[in-house]
Structure 1
Amino acid sequence: LQARAVMDSGALVNDGIIIALVQERIAQPDCAQGFLFDGFPRTIAQADAMKAAGVRLDHVLEIDVPFDAIIERMGGRRSHPASGRTYHVRFNPP
């Protein structure tokens, strides 16, 4: 609820709230055999907070993408507000 209120206000959810949400989620039974983060942690501070919270990671995979490829992927993104559907002008056209 705290995170929802922050997001609804248009602000970014702080690391403390994010870490608490992650801890709560990975404590669920379906994560007992492991879990996968996608795009998290995004900062050194978040990684340090996870470590301080006792969350142990066995492996980390970093995918290095050339900057121009990132620009092409992000620059081609489109969305249809009425349906909420997302598109890409090259990879997933409307």
Structure 2
Amino acid sequence: MFGTAPDADSAPKSERYEDVAKRKEIARLRPKVSPYKVGQVLVASAVDIVGAQELSAVWSNAELLPSKVEVAEAVAALAADAPTRPELWASRLGNSTLIDPPT
């Protein structure tokens, strides 16, 4: 309806943001892989594997949020020479007994 949503890379940035982002000391603090991209690939993979309804269960049960290991898998997947899709978190969501069945 409103077009494609901007991501963290394509969203407009202020002139002040651009000036600060160019500083060497700021660039050194930046992670090698954007946390937004990690989240994007985790969610996209989960939707592909288990569907949006099962993914939505994370809003009602914090135990379903991705673990450090599952996030690390997504970081490695993005950093690989040929990027891959993470599957650990989506697989756990698909096999979870913590998700209430639809009524």
Q: What's the TM-score bracket when you normalise by the shorter of the two chains?
A: under 0.3
Q: Which has the higher strand share?
A: 1
TM-score (norm 2): 0.25
**Greater relative contact order, per chain length (Cα 8 Å cut-off, separation 6+):** 2
TM-score (norm 1): 0.27
